[in-house]
Amino acid sequence: MAEAGTGFLEQLKSCIVWSWTYLWTVWFFIVLFLVYILRVPLKINDNLSTVSMFLNTLTPKFYVALTGTSSLISGLILIFEWWYFRKYGTSFIEQVSVSHLRPLLGGADNNSSNNSNSSNGDSDANRQSVSECKVWRNPLNLFRGAEYNRYTWVTGREPLTYYDMNLSAQDHQTFFTCDSDHLRPADAIMQKAWRERNPQARISAAHEALEINECATAYILLAEEEATTIAEAEKLFKQALKAGDGCYRRSQQLQHHGSQYEAQHRRDTNVLVYIKRRLAMCARRLGRTREAVKMMRDVSLNLCLRTVTMHLT
pLDDT digit string, tens, across residues 98-157: 666 666 665 444 444 444 444 444 444 444 443 444 444 554 468 888 888 888 888 888
Who wins on pLDDT, 302 or 307? 302
Provide CB contacts within 8 A for 77, sequence distance 6+: none
* Res 21: pLDDT: 64
Mean pLDDT of the chain: 77
Cα distance between residue 304 and residue 313, in whole Å: 14
pLDDT grade, residue 279 (50/70/90)? very high
pLDDT grade, residue 208 (50/70/90)? very high
* The pLDDT of residue 85 is above 70: yes
Cα distance between residue 63 and residue 59, in whole Å: 7
Q: Report pLDDT digits (tens) over 176-194.
A: 888 888 878 888 899 888 8
Cα distance between residue 6 and residue 261, in whole Å: 66
How many residues would you count in the chain? 313
Compute CA 175 distance to the chain's CA centroid, rounded to the nearest angstrom.
17
